[in-house]
Structure 1
Amino acid sequence: MEKWVVTAKKADFQGIGRKYGIDPVIARIIRNRDITGDEAIEEYLNGTLADIPSWKLLKDIDKAVEIISGKIDAGTKMRIIGDYDIDGVTATYILLKGFKRLGANVDTYIPDRVADGYGIHDHLIKKAMEDGIDTIVTCDNGISASSQITYAKELGMTVVVTDHHEVPFTDTEEGRTYILPPADAIINPKQADCTYPNKNICGAVVAMKLVFALYEKYRLPEEEKEDFLEPAAIATVGDIMDLQGENRILVKEGLARLPFTKNKGLKALIRAIGLEDQKITSYDIGFRLGPCINASGRLDTAMRSLALLQSEDEEEAAKLAGDLKALNDSRKALTEKGTEKAYKLIESSNLKNDRVMVVFLPECHESLAGIIAGRIREKYHKPTFVLTRGEKSLKGSGRSTENYSMYEELVKCDSLLVQYGGHPMAAGLSIEEENVEKFRQTLNDNCTLTEEDMIPKIVIDVPMPISYINEELVEQLSILEPFGKGNTKPLFAQKNLRVLKVGIYGKTQNTVKLQLRDPSGAVMDGLYWGEAKEFADFARSHETISVTYYPRINSYMGRESLQIVIQNYC
C-alpha cells in the first residue's frame, strides 16, 4: 500500500517564473525543495564553484596544514589510511595525488574489508610503526577510533583525522557528551564547534578541502584544483550525500567534466560500461560507475580501484576497468541470490512483524549486507540491518528510512556491540552472535515508528495534466539536475486518464507502452518499466487510471515526440 501526497508549499510561482525566465511549474518544484529567497534561487539555478564555502571555515584545517606541510618539507614518512568504499577510495586518491604533487614521502593503505574491517585498527598502527611511518592521515574514517589513536600517540606518532561521519557521543542526565579522538588535528564538519556551514559533505570532499588548503600554502596554480572535482562528485553521489547547495554544485561541475576526463582510469571505466560519448548523470554514477568502483572493495581489494584512478597507462587502465566491471557483474548475481534468501526468511518468520528488521544471513558475503539491507528497506519500508558471519564476530550493515536515525539508535545498543559507526541513514557494526536476539529486541523496544511512518509515501510535486506538457517545459526540467538525495527527480501526477491502447514490449517483456487521453482530449504515449504483465492487466481492466509520471522527449529514427514515464499507478 502507498500513500500519495501532494507537496503544497506556497509561493508566488508566477512572479518567480517571470523573474528567472522559467515556467511556473519549475518555480513550484524549486520551492518544494525548500529553495526560497533570491540568493538561494539564484545559487540553485546558476551556482558556480565560486559559491562554495572556503576551506578556511573547517575547524583544525590550519593546524593540519602546518603539521602536514612541515612533514612534507622534512621528508618525513607519512601513510594515508582510507576506507574500502567509493568515498574512502576517492578520498584516498585525492590525498595521495595532492600530497605527491607537493613532494611528500607518502604511501597508502586501504584496509581489507574481511581481514582488517572498517577504519584504523591497532594492527595497522603497529604495522605503520614497523614500516618507519611517522604520521598517519586518515580519510573517511578515524572519528570513532579514540583507543586506536591513543595507541598511535603512545608510540609517538602524529595523527591527522579527516572524516565526515557522526562524532561518537554518550547521553547522560546532564546532557550529551561528544567523544573526540586524541589526534593532533581533526577535520570533520560534524564537530559541534566547527563553523563550516555544510555538515553533509562526504569524506572525499573533506580530503579535497585539505588538498586545496595545502595547494594555496604552496602557491600552486588555481587550475590544478580542478583535477579533484570529478572524484569528489563521484564520491558525493556514491556516498548518498544530499544534493543541495555546495554538494549539488560540485556534482554538477564534476558531471560536466566526466565525459572529457583526463583521468585514464575513469576514461577506461566509462568506456567499459558503455557511457563513452554520452551525457553522464548522477543516476549513472549511482547505479553504473559507482558500483564498479565499490565492487573491488566488496569482493576483492579496494586497492584495485585506487590503482585504476592512479593509472597512467591506457592498456593497464583498460584491464583494470574490465576487471572492476566483471567483479560488479559477479556482485550483482550474488546480491540477487542473497536478497531472495532474505525475503524467504522474513516471510517465513516473525521478522516481518518487526518495526526494525534484523536479518541474519550467515553465508552471505559480508560486503553485500548493505546492498541487501537497502533492498529489504525498499520492499518493506522499514529500517533494516543485515548481519553476516565474519572472521571474528558477526558483521552487519544497516539502511534506514527518513524518520529513523540509525546511528543514534545504535548508540543506545552500545553495550551489545563490538564496534559501530555511521550516519542517520546508514551504519555498520560488529556484534557477537549471542547478542543478536537481544540487539533485535532492544532496537524494536526503543523504536518509536508508527504504522503511519511505515507506509511508503509517494510525494507528488505537481498535479499536472498531460495537456500542459510541451518541449520547452521538458527542456527546462534539466536545469534542476543533478537529481539525487535532497534534490529528487520531480514527480507529476494526473487522475482519470483514459487508456486507449496497451502493449508489452522488450527482449524480456518488461516494458509496457500505452496510449492515454486526458479529460481535455490530449493524447500522449506512456511507458512503464517493471512488472509489465501486472500493469498491462490493470490498465486493460480499468476505463481510467491515475498515474504519477515524469515527462520526456522521445527520439526515434530522427523523429521526436513527447511521452510520459509512469512511476506509480492506481
Structure 2
Amino acid sequence: MASINKKWVIQRPNEQHVEHLQKQLKLSPIAAKILVARGCQTVEQAQKILSMDEQAIHDPFLLHNMDKAVARIEQALEAGEKILIYGDYDADGITSTTVMLHTLLDLGADVDFVIPNRFAHGYGPNEQLFREAHEKGVQLIITVDNGISGIEPIRVAKELGMDVIVTDHHEAGEVLPPADVIIHPRVPEGHYPFGELAGVGVALKVAHALYGEIPTHLYELAAIGTIADLVPLVDENRYIVKQGIKHLRQSQSPWVEAFCKVASAKQAEINEETIGFYFGPRLNAIGRLGDAMPGVHFMKSEDMETAKELAELLNSKNAERKNIVATITEEAVAMIESDDKLKNAHVLVVAQEGWNPGVVGIVASMLVEQYYRPTIVLSLDTEKGTAKGSARSIEGFHLFNELAKNRDILPHFGGHPMAAGMTLAAAHVEQLQMRLNEQAKACLTEEQLIPKLTIDIPLELSEITVEAIEEIGQLGPFGTDFPKPVFALEQVKVSAMRKIGANENHLKLELDDGYCTMDAVGFNKGYLFNEISYGVALSFVGDLQINEWQNRKKPQFMVQDVQSNEWQLFDLRGKKQLVNIPQEETLFVVFDKQLVPYFEQHVPVTLAEQIVGQKPYVAVLDLPPNEERLAELLQRLQPQRIYAHFYTASSQYFSGMPTRQHFSWYYGFLKKRPNFALQQHIEPLAKHIGLNIDVINFMTKVFFELGFVTIENGLTTVVESAPKQALETAPSYKERSAQIQLEQKLLYATYSELKQWLDGQMSRED
C-alpha cells in the first residue's frame, strides 16, 4: 500500500478485562476496549473516566504560596494599585491572560494587560516592557503562562519597586526568579497533587482562590488553552476540558458564536477536535505572526460586531500563517530533495534567510511527518549573523540531550525530548548539522528510522454500530495522555470501490468480512484506487464516524492507512494502455524479444532472461512461452504485486483446435486435388469449410510435419504411401495445444481463477 514502509504496532486489550467492564458497566465492546486500552482494569478506574465530578478539582490553596498570592492581590485591590497581567503569545497564554483579566475586573481591580511580541520582545518577561509598566505606575505584575525563567527581567522589576507574582507551568530551572510569589504546580516538586496543569489551568486556580468558589464561567476559556497547549488530559485537566466543552456548547458569549462562524463549526457540536483543530490554531496564528493582544480583546468582546471583526482578524491571520507554512515547507522540501547528502542524513537541518521564525516549528513537524527524521528548521538573519528556529524529533533521539552536547556552538536552546527552540550563529549551522548527524547515527538504528503507527483497538465489523460510536463520544475528551483511539479492521476485503469528489481525490469503499459489510471513506486517498485489488485480505486503520443522510444514521469507517500481507493481482489483460503502474518500483518483463521495441515506447522493458536485481512489483507484459517460464520467474521474484498484461500478437484460443472430422475432410479434399495451389485458393476454401485461414494453414503444417503431404513451389500434394501417425505427435499440434491451454489459464481465465493459479505457482516448492 502507499504506506508500505510504515510499521504497524497493533496492541490488543486484555479480553478478560474487556468482558468484565462490558458486563459490569453495560458498555459496548468498543467502549470497553477503549477503557482497557487506556489503563482501566477495574470498574472503579473506569468510573473515574465515565463520571467525573467537581471532586476532581483540587483545593487551589494546595498550591504552594497561594495564600500569599491571594493576600497580595487583595491588598492591591483594597489600595487601588495598578496591576499588570503579563501574558504569552500562544493560545494558552492568550486564554490565561483573559482568565486573569476577567477575574480581576470582576473584583474591581485597576488592571491592564500586555503580551510580548514574539519578534520584538521574545518569549517571557521582557525588561523593556517591565520598565514601561513602571513608568505607567504599575505596582503589581502578575505573569501568566510564563515567568519561571525570567530571572533578570524580574530582578529589574523588583529593583524598580514593583512586586511580581509568577504563575507558570513550564519547566523550572535550578535557579528561580526573585519574584514575591511563585505559583507553579511543580514548584516545589510534589507539593501539589497534580503537576500537569496548563498555564490557563494555573490561572484558573488563582481565580478559584480569589473568588472563593469554582469560577465555572471561565471553564470555556480554560478548556481552549488546556487543549491547545497539549498538556495531559487526565485528572483536573480532563474535568476542566469536559466542563469547558459543555459550557462552550451553551455559551451566550459573542466570541464563541463568532469563532464558530469563521471556523464553520456548529456550536452545539463543539468538542475537543473543534478546539484543537479550529479554535487553537487561530489563536496561535496571531501570536506567530505578530501582536497577540487582539486575541485577548476578542475573548473579552461583549458585542457581536466587535467579536465578528476580531474573529475575522484571527481567521485571516490563520490563513496567512497557512500560506507562509506551505511556502516554507515547499522551499525546505526542494532544498532536501536537491541535496542527496542532506536527503540521506539522519538529521535534517534546513536554513534560509527570510523564513518566519514564528512558524518554523510547524514546518519542522511537517518535515518529520514526511521524512521521519529529526528535523531543525532555521531562519537566518544575515545582519545579525544568527540562525533562529525550532526542532522536532522522533522516538529514540532525545532532542534536548543531543542538543546539549553542542553547547559550545549552541548558546541558546531549550525544550524537551521531542521539541526544542534555539538560536545560534549562522556560521555554525553546518557544523551543528554534521555533529547531530553523527550523534544520530550512533543512537538510531535502522528499525528506529521506520515510522510506526500504533493501533490500540482492533475491531470486528459486527461490533460497529451507531449506538457504539455514540458511546465513544461519552468517553471523551480525548487528547494528550488519553489519546483518541486508533481502530483497526483486520483481514477484510473490498467488495466495491470508487473515487469521489470533484477532483476524484477521495475514495469510497464497501468493506466485507464475509459476515458483515460497512461503508468506508478515505479522504485524500483517491490514489489507493490503483493500489487496491479485489479479493485480497486487507487491514484498514482509521476512525469511526456516523454518517447521517435523510434522517438515517449509518456507521462509517474513516480510512487513515491500509496494508496487506498478501500479494496483489492487477488485471491489465486486454487493456491498450499500461497506466497507473508505479514505474520506479516495477519490473516490466517481456519474454519475446521481438516485442521489446513495441513496449519500449511506453515503459522500461527487461527481457525475462536478462533480469538483474529485484523490485517489489512485476508487470508481465506478454504471454510466456510456457507455464514453467512464468512460474520460475515468479518464484524467484516473489513480487508484492503482479500486473498481468499477457499480450500476444496471435491468440489461438478462439480459433481453437480443429476436430478430427476437420482434419479428415481436409485430407480427403487435398487427396482429390494433386498439386493444389493452397495460398491461391485459401480464402474461398476457408469460407467453404467454415474455418479461418489460420486453422487451414495449421492443418496443412501438421500434415507436412507428419509426411502426409509435400509442398513444392506453393503446391500441396498428398503422399499416399505415408505411414500412419497420430495427429497429436506433430510438433505444431503440440505447440498449438499447449498455447491454447496457456491462454485459457492466463489470458482468458476469470480474475479469481488467475489469482489462484498464480498464487499456486509462487507458493509451490519444486
CA distance in 2, matches of 1:251, 1:332: 27
- Evaluate the alpha carbon distance shift between residue 499 and residue 271 of structure 1 in structure 2; reply closer, same or farther with a 3 A threshold: same
Residue 475, structure 1, aligned to residue 470, structure 2: yes
Deviation, 1:9, is 4.8
- Could you tell me which of 308, 312, 316 is aligned with 2:298? 308
CA distance in 2, matches of 1:65, 1:409: 41
Q: What per-residue deviation string (whole Å, max 9, x for no partner) do you get for residues 191-216 of structure 1?
A: 35342232222111111111111112
Pairing 1:97-176 to 2, within 5 Å after superposition:
97-168=102-173
Residue 41, structure 1, aligned to residue 37, structure 2: no
Match of 1:566 in 2: 559
Q: Read off the aligned partner of 1:187 and give its amino acid letter.
A: I
CA distance in 1, matches of 2:305, 2:230: 32
- Could you tell me which of 326, 330, 334 is aligned with 1:344? 334
Deviation, 1:101, is 1.4
Match of 1:82 in 2: 87
Pairing 1:18-37 to 2, within 5 Å after superposition:
18-37=23-42
Give TM-score scaled by structure 1 length: 0.91
CA distance in 1, matches of 2:134, 2:428: 35
Match of 1:465 in 2: 460
Q: Secondary structure at the residue paired with 2:470?
A: helix
Pairing 1:364-403 to 2, within 5 Å after superposition:
364-389=355-380, 393-401=386-394, 403=396
Q: What per-residue deviation string (whole Å, max 9, x for no partner) do you get for residues 482-533 of structure 1?
A: 2222222222223332222111111342210011211x3322211111241x
CA distance in 1, matches of 2:411, 2:254: 41
Q: Read off the aligned partner of 1:494 and give its amino acid letter.
A: L
Of 202-211 and 262-271, deviating more is 262-271
Of 58-67 and 497-506, deviating more is 58-67
Of 426-435 and 235-244, deviating more is 426-435
Residue 556, structure 1, aligned to residue 552, structure 2: no
Q: Secondary structure at the residue paired with 1:539?
A: coil
CA distance in 1, matches of 2:143, 2:395: 29
Residue 362, structure 1, aligned to residue 353, structure 2: yes
- Evaluate the alpha carbon distance shift between residue 279 and residue 418 of structure 1 in structure 2; reply closer, same or farther with a 3 A threshold: same
Q: Read off the aligned partner of 1:195 and give its amino acid letter.
A: H
Q: Secondary structure at the residue paired with 1:480?
A: coil
Where structure 2 has 5 or more consecutive residues not aligned to the other structure, the ranges are 564-766
Kindly indicate whether the alpha-carbon contact (under 8 Å) linking 2:373 and 2:393 is maintained by their aligned counterparts in 1: yes
Match of 1:174 in 2: none
- Could you tell me which of 209, 227, 239 is aligned with 1:213? 209
Match of 2:254 in 1: 264
- Evaluate the alpha carbon distance shift between residue 283 and residue 560 of structure 1 in structure 2; reply closer, same or farther with a 3 A threshold: same
Q: Secondary structure at the residue paired with 2:532?
A: helix
Q: What per-residue deviation string (whole Å, max 9, x for no partner) do you get for residues 342-369 of structure 1?
A: 1222233333344443321322112111
Q: Secondary structure at the residue paired with 2:218?
A: helix
**Which protein, 1 or 2, shows the higher relative CO under an 8 Å CA cutoff with sep ≥ 6?**
1
- Evaluate the alpha carbon distance shift between residue 427 and residue 215 of structure 1 in structure 2; reply closer, same or farther with a 3 A threshold: farther
Kindly indicate whether the alpha-carbon contact (under 8 Å) linking 2:30 and 2:463 is maintained by their aligned counterparts in 1: no
Deviation, 1:12, is 2.2
CA-based RMSD of the aligned residues comes to 2.3
- Evaluate the alpha carbon distance shift between residue 258 and residue 513 of structure 1 in structure 2; reply closer, same or farther with a 3 A threshold: same
- Evaluate the alpha carbon distance shift between residue 213 and residue 426 of structure 1 in structure 2; reply closer, same or farther with a 3 A threshold: farther
- Could you tell me which of 20, 39, 44 is aligned with 1:15? 20
Q: What per-residue deviation string (whole Å, max 9, x for no partner) do you get for residues 209-261 of structure 1?
A: 11111112xxxxx46x0121111110111111222222222112111221222
CA distance in 2, matches of 1:557, 1:536: 28
Match of 2:178 in 1: 182
- Could you tell me which of 411, 418, 433 is aligned with 1:440? 433
CA distance in 2, matches of 1:46, 1:402: 34
Match of 1:4 in 2: 8
- Evaluate the alpha carbon distance shift between residue 550 and residue 204 of structure 1 in structure 2; reply closer, same or farther with a 3 A threshold: same
Q: Secondary structure at the residue paired with 2:77?
A: helix
Deviation, 1:453, is 3.0
CA distance in 2, matches of 1:256, 1:195: 30
CA distance in 1, matches of 2:335, 2:84: 44
Q: What per-residue deviation string (whole Å, max 9, x for no partner) do you get for residues 69-124 of structure 1?
A: 22222222221111111111111111111112112222111011111111112222
CA distance in 1, matches of 2:166, 2:421: 19
Kindly indicate whether the alpha-carbon contact (under 8 Å) linking 2:466 and 2:555 is maintained by their aligned counterparts in 1: yes
Q: Secondary structure at the residue paired with 2:353?
A: coil
Kindly indicate whether the alpha-carbon contact (under 8 Å) linking 1:166 and 1:423 is maintained by their aligned counterparts in 2: no
Pairing 1:239-254 to 2, within 5 Å after superposition:
239-254=229-244
Q: What per-residue deviation string (whole Å, max 9, x for no partner) do you get for residues 382-405 of structure 1?
A: 333321135854321233445555
Kindly indicate whether the alpha-carbon contact (under 8 Å) linking 1:265 and 1:318 is maintained by their aligned counterparts in 2: yes
Deviation, 1:160, is 1.2
Q: Secondary structure at the residue paired with 2:146?
A: coil
- Could you tell me which of 55, 63, 87 is aligned with 1:58? 63
Match of 2:449 in 1: 454
Q: Secondary structure at the residue paired with 2:478?
A: coil
Give 1 or 2 for the bigger CA radius of gyration: 2
CA distance in 2, matches of 1:275, 1:15: 38
Kindly indicate whether the alpha-carbon contact (under 8 Å) linking 1:85 and 1:297 is maintained by their aligned counterparts in 2: yes
Deviation, 1:415, is 4.6
- Evaluate the alpha carbon distance shift between residue 191 and residue 303 of structure 1 in structure 2; reply closer, same or farther with a 3 A threshold: same
Kindly indicate whether the alpha-carbon contact (under 8 Å) linking 2:493 and 2:534 is maintained by their aligned counterparts in 1: no
Identity %: 37
Kindly indicate whether the alpha-carbon contact (under 8 Å) linking 2:147 and 2:167 is maintained by their aligned counterparts in 1: yes
- Evaluate the alpha carbon distance shift between residue 539 and residue 114 of structure 1 in structure 2; reply closer, same or farther with a 3 A threshold: same
Q: What per-residue deviation string (whole Å, max 9, x for no partner) do you get for residues 420-447 of structure 1?
A: 4444443333323223234434544555
Q: Secondary structure at the residue paired with 2:469?
A: helix
Deviation, 1:299, is 2.1
Kindly indicate whether the alpha-carbon contact (under 8 Å) linking 1:56 and 1:62 is maintained by their aligned counterparts in 2: yes
Q: Secondary structure at the residue paired with 1:190?
A: coil
